[in-house]
């Protein structure tokens, strides 16, 4: 495939009801509309055949599609008529009568009308667990004329494992079908999956009621939720590998969202500092993610409802920066902060922070002494990073000195030559009187697996010492790590910082005390400017992980199908075979 070639792709958003014929007509109409705008790939929303609302499993079975039936065959024919790819999502029945599986299935039809691949949904949301069956194998990466394609849907993008696995297996385009009323999807979950994996994401959401029209009034009144909050949230979008949303649909109303994309751009997995984020992964370290859920080590204390946290971004460099950091840390502790976080190697000028020269390790120890003195008489903990004799480490210290030293887990070109990640290293934790803490170096935070490991270890609050971060990491990556892992994050960088506190209201209506406001898991963020920023975090909220009935954000991960995350990195995909070429190819 020509690496410079661009293709026009489309995400179609529209409403779906309980009338099968009307739903099919809407699908075909939107495919036609997308093709009229020049699209050669059209992505449709989740559950195109029927509302995802059933009285019982028998009703779900009756509404489900079968391969080649009167719903799917016309979609395949329309793809062939136009010579385009169409991704559709339906409930799909398979197996012998009386023992049929009903799955939420993503299906990709090629330009000749043939089915190129099917991916069953691995992570079901709420009531979907009542009537549908989860996937028993990971979905394929499909060779197409546009490049390698992976399929996923809705809840599979609210946590990181499914998209990560597809990207690691070579997908350059991820096609997401949604059935969501959550505003978090468009603002956070959709674009972060593109940026963290350096792939394109084409996401199509619904608009209109997601529940039966004749029941919305009663459901709205019973739940104290405005009727409009039960509509699909729209904002279908196309996202570039750096997290930039290149096209987005409206919040309400039908739309066809189109953009010209260059799929080959997803082959480059390098950060702006030159680090290949896939090459530096540590698969053996991530084994707990692909293991059965197990209780985290017991926290013997009582997690606090709320404690104070502080981000310190001192001015200058060298001794002046150390003095300013100590002054601000002392002030933060005096104002009740129990966790204070500083940027990576905060006292060094920018040229040293990004050079292969080893910083002075004795100077690092002197910095710790100055910061320890600032904590005298206080119960506060402080996190920063220092050069170690054999690498780069983050230190958590209290008034008596270091209580935890965390070695950098992933190598970085910024510190190449002196900060080599050790294969035997692990993520460490420390129990404070108010919660369990981990300290994460900025380069490690760019890998979604790092804070997933923290969640599995029962961490409720993580200090993140940032170095040079890409825009997506602070705008999307860190809020997403807080949301998907249910961890408070206190992040300090040279150019940015924030305190991401877990919200008191979390999940869907049954787990909330106040009316649903459209957000499910987005943290409450306080941006940190230069100097001192104070805000609360909520350790006890980390114990709440059920985003909806039967759907646990951490233990509900598809661990049985996460082999790609823990396998040695596969070879980079070569030119893809093109079994379903576009017209004229």
CA distance 311 to 529: 9
As to burial, measured by CB atoms within 10 angstroms (0-12 exposed, 13-18 middle, 19+ buried), residue 540 is middle
Among 85, 194, 197, 77, smallest CA distance to 145 is for 85
In tens, the pLDDT along 509-550 reads 555 667 677 888 899 999 999 999 999 999 999 999 999 889
Question: Does pLDDT of 251 surpass 70?
Answer: yes
Instruction: Name the residue with higher pLDDT: 353 or 349.
Output: 349
CATH of domain 308-410+428-566: 3.60.110.10
CA distance 4 to 377: 62
Residues 6+ apart with CB under 8 A from 295: none
Q: What confidence score (pLDDT) does residue 254 get? A: 97
In tens, the pLDDT along 320-345 reads 999 999 999 999 999 999 999 999 99
Name the average pLDDT for the chain: 92
Domain 7-269 fold: Nitrilase/N-carbamoyl-D-aminoacid amidohydrolase (3.60.110)
Same fold, 7-269 and 308-410+428-566: yes
In tens, the pLDDT along 389-415 reads 888 999 999 999 999 999 999 999 888
In tens, the pLDDT along 412-454 reads 988 887 887 766 589 999 999 999 999 999 899 999 999 999 9
Taking CA 362 as the corner, what is the angle to CA 361 and CA 363, rounded to the nearest 5 degrees? 90
Whole-number Cα distances in Å, 423 to 133, 283, 387, 409, 494: 39, 10, 18, 8, 28
Domain boundaries, the chain: 7-269, 308-410+428-566
Q: How far is CA 155 from the centre of its chain?
A: 11
User: What is the per-residue burial (b if ≥16 Cβ within 10 Å, else e) of 63-98?
Assistant: bbbeeeeebbebbbebbbebbbbbbbbbbbbbeeee
pLDDT bucket at 576, cuts 50 / 70 / 90? very low
CA distance 430 to 338: 14
Which tokens belong to 124? Answer: 């079901």
Percent of the chain residues topping a pLDDT of 90: 79
């Amino acid at each position: 495939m020509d690496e410079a070639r661009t293709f026009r792709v489309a995400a179609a958003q529209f409403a779906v009801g309980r009338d099968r014929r009307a739903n099919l007509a809407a699908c075909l109409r939107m495919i036609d509309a997308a093709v009229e705008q020049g699209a050669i790939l059209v992505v449709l929303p989740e559950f195109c055949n029927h509302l995802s609302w059933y009285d019982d499993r028998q009703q779900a079975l009756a509404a489900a599609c079968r391969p080649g039936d009167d719903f799917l065959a016309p979609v395949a024919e329309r793809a062939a008529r136009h010579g385009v790819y169409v991704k559709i999502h339906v409930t799909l029945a398979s197996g012998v009568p009386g023992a049929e599986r009903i799955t939420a299935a993503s299906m990709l039809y090629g330009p000749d009308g043939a089915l190129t691949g099917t991916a069953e949904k691995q992570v079901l949301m709420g009531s979907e667990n009542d009537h549908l069956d989860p996937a028993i194998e990971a979905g394929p990466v499909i060779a197409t004329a546009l490049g390698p394609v992976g399929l996923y849907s809705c809840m599979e993008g609210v946590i990181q494992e499914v998209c990560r696995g597809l990207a690691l297996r070579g997908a350059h385009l991820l096609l997401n079908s949604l059935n969501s009323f959550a505003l978090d999807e468009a603002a956070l979950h959709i674009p972060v999956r593109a940026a963290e994996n350096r792939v394109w994401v084409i996401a199509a959401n619904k608009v209109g009621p997601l529940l039966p029209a004749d029941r919305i009034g009663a459901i709205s009144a019973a739940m104290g939720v405005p009727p409009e909050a039960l509509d699909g949230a729209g904002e279908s979008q196309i996202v570039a590998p750096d997290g930039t949303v290149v096209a987005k649909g409206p919040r309400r109303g039908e739309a066809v969202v189109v953009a010209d994309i260059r799929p080959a751009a997803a082959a480059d997995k390098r950060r702006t500092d030159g680090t290949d984020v896939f090459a530096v992964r540590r698969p053996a370290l991530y084994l707990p993610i692909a293991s059965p859920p197990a209780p985290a080590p017991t926290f013997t204390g009582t997690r606090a409802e709320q404690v104070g946290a502080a981000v310190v971004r001192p001015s200058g460099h060298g001794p002046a920066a150390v003095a300013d950091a100590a002054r601000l840390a002392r002030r933060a502790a005096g104002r009740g902060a129990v966790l204070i976080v500083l940027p990576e190697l905060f006292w060094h000028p920018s040229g040293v922070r990004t050079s292969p020269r080893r910083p002075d390790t004795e100077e690092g120890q002197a910095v710790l002494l100055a910061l320890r003195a600032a904590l005298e008489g206080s119960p506060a903990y402080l996190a920063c990073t220092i050069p170690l004799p054999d690498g780069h480490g983050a230190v958590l210290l209290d008034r008596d000195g270091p209580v935890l030293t965390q070695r950098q887990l992933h190598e970085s070109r910024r510190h190449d030559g002196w900060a080599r990640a050790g294969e035997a290293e692990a993520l460490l934790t420390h129990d404070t009187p108010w919660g369990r803490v981990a300290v994460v170096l900025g380069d490690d935070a760019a890998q979604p697996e790092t804070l997933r490991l923290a969640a599995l270890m029962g961490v409720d609050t993580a200090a993140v010492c940032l170095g040079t971060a890409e825009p997506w990491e602070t705008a999307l990556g860190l809020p997403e790590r807080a949301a998907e892992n249910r961890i408070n994050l206190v992040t300090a960088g040279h150019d940015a910082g924030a305190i991401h506190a877990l919200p008191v209201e979390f999940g869907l209506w049954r787990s909330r005390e106040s009316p649903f406001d459209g957000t499910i898991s987005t943290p409450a963020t306080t941006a940190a400017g230069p100097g001192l920023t104070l805000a609360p975090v909520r350790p006890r909220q980390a114990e709440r992980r059920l985003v909806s009935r039967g759907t646990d954000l951490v233990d509900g991960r598809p661990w049985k199908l996460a082999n790609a995350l823990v396998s040695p990195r596969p070879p980079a995909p070569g030119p893809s075979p093109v079994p379903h070429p576009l017209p004229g190819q």
